[in-house]
Structure 1
Amino acid sequence: MSKEQLKLRSMIVTALFAAIIGVLAQVTIPLPLVPITGQTLAIGLAATILGARYGTISVILYLIIGSAGVPVFAEFSGGISKLVGPTGGYLVGFVPTAFFIGWFMEKQGFTIKNALMANVIGMFITLSFGTAWLKIAADLSWTAAMTGGFTPFIIVGLIKAALASWIGIAVRNRLITANLLFSAKPNVNQTF
């Protein structure tokens, strides 16, 4: 397979994961301050399957599409106001979360155990960014921000981390078997 074909394939898979994040963002359970969404599951899947570089690029692409006004954020919303509003910290936090999960997996190996560790830590990265931003944007006390933006998401976050790990490793292995994803770290001759 030529270098151009590999590059095209990686761009298509990255864009596909940006779309998957947008679709899973619509799976919501409303709560008073911040809804529970499928976005964090999708972020974990993207990073677990694609690794640091392409997982992070898929998240950035998702954020660009959403901030341009396409309704891909939770509850079919979009626009730059979502990035700077009270829940914008969670969205922005997806970038370091995806990078960390992918980086950890690349360094430690793509196993379910490593994926679970990476996704749990990633969950706390997202929650930390989101809670800090929520405190500032909504002018809340730390107690109110933690109560409304952190604590209610721990149990659900652990469940999503486990699902992202198990499903992510299974899908990654199948994509590698189908030659749609490379198991080795990218080098000069490989784009993906």
Structure 2
Amino acid sequence: MSKEQIKLRSMIITALFAAIIGVMAQLTIPLPLVPITGQTLAIGLAATILGARYGTLSVLLYIAIGSIGVPVFAEFSAGLSVLVGPTGGFLIGFIPATFIIGLFLEKLGFTFKNAIIANIIGMLITLAFGTVWLKIATDLSWVSALASGFTPFLVVGTIKAILASWIGIIVRKRLLSAKLLISNDIKQSA
């Protein structure tokens, strides 16, 4: 396969994951300030399957698409107003979370155990960004911000981290064996 074909395939997969994130964002359980969504599961899948570079690019593409007005954010919302609104910190937090999950796995190996650890770290990064942003955007106290943007998501976030790890490692192995995903990683799935 030529370099151009590999690059094209990587771009298509990146765009596909941006679309998956947008679709999963519509799976929501409404809460007063911040809904529970399928976005974080999709973010974990993107990072676990694609790694740091292409996982992060898929998140950046997703955020760019939503920012220009395509309704891909939770509850079919869109625009820069969402990014600067109360839940914008969670969206911005997806960027470092995805990069760190992917980097962790690239450095330590794409195993189920490593994926769980990486996805839990990613969840905590997303929640930290989101909670700080929520506090600033809504002028909440730290206790209220933690009670609204962090604590309610720990159990569900851990479940999603485990699911992203389990599904992500299985899908990654199958995509690699089918040669649909090209990996230059030194450490492969064990």
TM (norm. structure 2) is 0.97
* Equivalent-residue separation in structure 2 for 1:84 and 1:185 (angstroms): 36
* Equivalent-residue separation in structure 2 for 1:46 and 1:178 (angstroms): 18
Question: Within 5 A, what are the aligned runs for 1:1-192?
Answer: 1-185=1-185
How far the C-alpha of 1:110 sits from its partner, in A, is 0.2
Return the letter of the residue paired with 1:15: A
* Equivalent-residue separation in structure 2 for 1:94 and 1:183 (angstroms): 23
Return the letter of the residue paired with 1:111: T
* Equivalent-residue separation in structure 2 for 1:160 and 1:185 (angstroms): 25
Query: Are the counterparts in 1 of residues 127 and 149 from structure 2 also a CA contact under 8 Å?
Result: yes
Query: Are the counterparts in 1 of residues 93 and 130 from structure 2 also a CA contact under 8 Å?
Result: yes
Return the letter of the residue paired with 1:44: G
Identity of aligned residues (%): 75
- For 1:190, the equivalent position in structure 2 comes to none
Query: Are the counterparts in 1 of residues 90 and 126 from structure 2 also a CA contact under 8 Å?
Result: yes
How far the C-alpha of 1:184 sits from its partner, in A, is 2.7
How far the C-alpha of 1:185 sits from its partner, in A, is 2.5
Structure 1 residues without counterparts, runs of 5 or longer: 187-192
* Equivalent-residue separation in structure 2 for 1:13 and 1:183 (angstroms): 13
Structure 2 residues without counterparts, runs of 5 or longer: none
* Equivalent-residue separation in structure 2 for 1:78 and 1:132 (angstroms): 21
* Equivalent-residue separation in structure 2 for 1:97 and 1:121 (angstroms): 8
TM (norm. structure 1) is 0.96
| 1:80-124 residue CA offsets vs partner (Å, 9 max, x unmatched) | 100000100000000000000000000000000000000001000
* Equivalent-residue separation in structure 1 for 2:75 and 2:108 (angstroms): 36
Return the letter of the residue paired with 2:50: L
Query: Are the counterparts in 1 of residues 112 and 165 from structure 2 also a CA contact under 8 Å?
Result: yes
Query: Are the counterparts in 1 of residues 19 and 62 from structure 2 also a CA contact under 8 Å?
Result: yes
Return the letter of the residue paired with 1:36: I
* Equivalent-residue separation in structure 1 for 2:77 and 2:49 (angstroms): 26
Runs of 4 or more off by more than 4 Å in structure 1? none
- For 1:189, the equivalent position in structure 2 comes to none
How far the C-alpha of 1:162 sits from its partner, in A, is 0.2
* Equivalent-residue separation in structure 2 for 1:139 and 1:169 (angstroms): 40
* Equivalent-residue separation in structure 2 for 1:67 and 1:158 (angstroms): 28
- Secondary structure at the residue paired with 2:71? coil
